[in-house]
Structure 1
Amino acid sequence: MKNIISIIKYKFATKKIIGLGSPLLDIQAEVSQEFLQKYGLKLNNTFFAEEKHLQLYEELLQIPTHSHVPGGSALNTIRLARWMAQAQRDEVKFIGCVGMRDKFAKMLIESTNQDGITALFDEQQYPTGKCAVLLCNKDRCLIPLIGASAHLSKEFVDKHIEEVKTAAILFCEVYFLYPRAELTKYVFKVAQESNVNTCLSLSSVNAVSDRFNEILSILPYIDYLFGNEEEVGQFGKNFGCKGSLEQIMQKIAAFNKVGVRDRVVVCTQGHKPTLIASKNDFLNVIVETVDSSKIVDTNSAGDSFCGGFIAQLLNGPDLIKCAKAGNYSAAQTIQHEGSTIPKYQPDFKC
């Protein structure tokens, strides 16, 4: 049996990471039950923004203790990857779309740049995408407004396609397939033709079901597929695979593939071992546990894992080290609120 580490070829001429996805501005604040009732909201739920919610974002900005950070699954991953790699600004870039210089676009661009990411943002005549994170008695409610992030133009991508061709790694989220499936396929095809390591995160169980056909259409161009056990399990159901998680992962890995690399499927399981599969091999990587008293917020753990993984991938084809770097990154993130980048430098040692 071929060793999973030895069968993968890499492009090391550059250390550049490119993200592609739906950038959002996360606006977080503590609110009262009255605030929730005013907008017809309930805790521990996600409500996609309607007309009645539009003023909510402005109200959050008036709360003195509010905070705002760049958001969106792929952008979260790219931000954590830059932190883990301690990369320079010109080495980590993100392609997405915001509104025509509205207030929220300015805030998102500034905060993205402050995190060391070069923001390559198209501008369209839609409101900038954002997500309200309402906290009340340690519970939360999310109100995303996708807005302009769903309207990235091919013309803008073509202006920056050399950034994709010259990258070491391209990372995207399944959420981006909702509005821009064909554009995503185009970018990944170009990346494969340029020998770029291509990565896709499954995002959520619902996303796997809603966009399964679109995922299959770009799967031949994917080198690394990331998901948790529920997302991978759902993929297996849609795939018609009734076996174990290992069998599902290896079937996904063996699906039609173009390019010089075999596909790798990476499955996180919280505190349980991280699973890594190719069509011919399977690895278990132990996760070091975090003291439960130190855990603040687990919502961005998956994005952070991917960030640590791809940051380590820049250093070579040791997938065990990549998984350990991903778990280290996730362990740091869950000790902070939201997708906040730690103030300290990473202390990751394999």
Structure 2
Amino acid sequence: MVSEGTLLGMGNPLLDISAVVDEDFLKKYDITSNNAILAEDKHKPMYQELAEKYNVEYIAGGATQNSIKVAQWMLQVPGATSYMGGIGKDKFGEEMKKNSKLAGVNVHYYEDETTPTGTCAVCIVGGERSLVANLAAANCYKSDHLKRPENWALVEKAKYIYIAGFFLTVSPDSIQLVAEHSAANNKIFSMNLSAPFICEFFRDVQEKALPYTDFVFGNETEARTFSKVHGWETDNVEEIAVKISQWPKASGTHKRITVITQGADPICVAEDGKVKKFPVKLLPKEKLVDTNGAGDAFVGGFLSQLVQEKPIEECVRAGCYAANVIIQRSGCTYPEKPDFH
């Protein structure tokens, strides 16, 4: 049995404002399909336009929070997971708290008095999603919150810790504290490449955290960007996965395993200099609702088995199952109970 607080996530909690839009909308705001970026000034009017002109859904999201919620759903053990990040003291923040508690996650949010809760525009065209995140209060998270005894207790209790790369833009010192604690206490620390812009513009902090990672997740686009940034001169996802897994390690207790998803193509898992490929269960086009949260759900499913010390094959199978469920629904949402066996 999985004990309480086994898995801890830290990240940027965002309220997803999700809508099906058209190509013109993407062009107008200069956003590309199947990408994730941080909002610039030119994107600010977009949130209002989405709410006014489109049929929007509000869903508590943010990459790490999605993964933690999916792991919690798969585990069905109340409080097996916990999560930290920054929200505002506002309506969206209250919505977020309610949503997470319903999901069974033990959340310890930092609540900022003056900044609104972060939002993420999820623009869906032909089932593919494009994300534009306005971090707002998520950007105000500080390691002071993490160091408070009641919050650091969550770190001490956890045996597995997962942080999406997006959090590198907010509080790299929090990541470092948790990474060093994991290495010193023989815990499993995992991160995600998360987006091409993280590999490009947050290279230094990403490289500082990488030696502490026992699992690195990502998709093929992020892997190729990582390779380009490091001058590896290869686009071959399998080669890149192996190279990431062989990156120097801060603690020698666990070997690093790299897990790269490739949409409908097989998943690459690199370990001990070798790659195993796992086919993805293909979904008929008519069943696809949207891909938002698919990668997060894969990680959540994977972690739900990892914390039970199941073999990698089982972790991948659970990841594929969770992603498959999520893409048949709007946003990162799921039915009441999983039927994963």
1:112 and 1:58, CA in 2 relative to 1: closer, same or farther beyond 3 A?
Answer: farther
Check conservation: 2:122, 2:131, Cα contact below 8 A. yes
> Do residues 150 (structure 1) and 139 (structure 2) align?
yes
* Secondary structure at the counterpart of residue 186 of structure 1: helix
1:274 and 1:137, CA in 2 relative to 1: closer, same or farther beyond 3 A?
Answer: closer
* Secondary structure at the counterpart of residue 150 of structure 1: helix
* Secondary structure at the counterpart of residue 122 of structure 1: strand
Q: Which AA in structure 1 matches 2:17?
A: I
Deviation at 1:132, TM superposition (A): 3.4
Unmatched segments (≥5 aa) in structure 1: 1-11
The count of aligned residue pairs is 331
Number of the residue aligned with 2:300 = 307
What is the rounded CA distance, in whole Å, between the counterparts of 1:170 and 1:155 in structure 2?
19
Q: Which AA in structure 2 matches 1:348?
A: F
Number of the residue aligned with 1:168 = 159
What is the rounded CA distance, in whole Å, between the counterparts of 1:202 and 1:147 in structure 2?
22
- What does the per-residue CA deviation read over 1:213-252, in whole Å, with 9 as the maximum and x for residues that have no partner? 2111111110000011121122122223235433322221
* Secondary structure at the counterpart of residue 171 of structure 2: helix
> Do residues 74 (structure 1) and 64 (structure 2) align?
yes
- What does the per-residue CA deviation read over 1:130-157, in whole Å, with 9 as the maximum and x for residues that have no partner? 1234568978775532111011121210
Check conservation: 2:13, 2:118, Cα contact below 8 A. yes
Counterpart among 279, 293, 298 of residue 272 in structure 2: 279
Unmatched segments (≥5 aa) in structure 2: none
What is the rounded CA distance, in whole Å, between the counterparts of 1:249 and 1:55 in structure 2?
36
Q: Which AA in structure 2 matches 1:241?
A: W
Number of the residue aligned with 1:190 = 181
What is the rounded CA distance, in whole Å, between the counterparts of 1:270 and 1:177 in structure 2?
24
> Do residues 346 (structure 1) and 338 (structure 2) align?
yes
- What does the per-residue CA deviation read over 1:181-238, in whole Å, with 9 as the maximum and x for residues that have no partner? 2221122111222222111111112221122221111111100000111211221222
Q: Which AA in structure 2 matches 1:275?
A: C
Counterpart among 61, 74, 83 of residue 84 in structure 1: 74
Counterpart among 200, 208, 217 of residue 226 in structure 1: 217
Q: Which AA in structure 1 matches 2:238?
A: E
1:216 and 1:238, CA in 2 relative to 1: closer, same or farther beyond 3 A?
Answer: same
* Secondary structure at the counterpart of residue 265 of structure 1: strand
1:126 and 1:264, CA in 2 relative to 1: closer, same or farther beyond 3 A?
Answer: same
- What does the per-residue CA deviation read over 1:287-323, in whole Å, with 9 as the maximum and x for residues that have no partner? 2211222111112211111011001101214111111
Counterpart among 110, 116, 119 of residue 98 in structure 2: 110
Q: Which AA in structure 2 matches 1:118?
A: N
- What does the per-residue CA deviation read over 1:34-87, in whole Å, with 9 as the maximum and x for residues that have no partner? 9x69xx647767671649947955983x89964321111111111111111223
1:272 and 1:214, CA in 2 relative to 1: closer, same or farther beyond 3 A?
Answer: same
Number of the residue aligned with 1:290 = 283
Q: Which has the larger radius of gyration?
A: 1
What is the rounded CA distance, in whole Å, between the counterparts of 2:128 and 2:245 in structure 1?
38
* Secondary structure at the counterpart of residue 22 of structure 1: coil
Deviation at 1:21, TM superposition (A): 0.5
* Secondary structure at the counterpart of residue 275 of structure 1: strand
* Secondary structure at the counterpart of residue 273 of structure 1: strand
1:218 and 1:56, CA in 2 relative to 1: closer, same or farther beyond 3 A?
Answer: closer
What is the rounded CA distance, in whole Å, between the counterparts of 2:41 and 2:202 in structure 1?
23
What is the rounded CA distance, in whole Å, between the counterparts of 2:262 and 2:90 in structure 1?
40
Alpha-carbon RMSD: 3.0
Deviation at 1:174, TM superposition (A): 0.9
Deviation at 1:27, TM superposition (A): 2.5
Number of the residue aligned with 1:5 = none
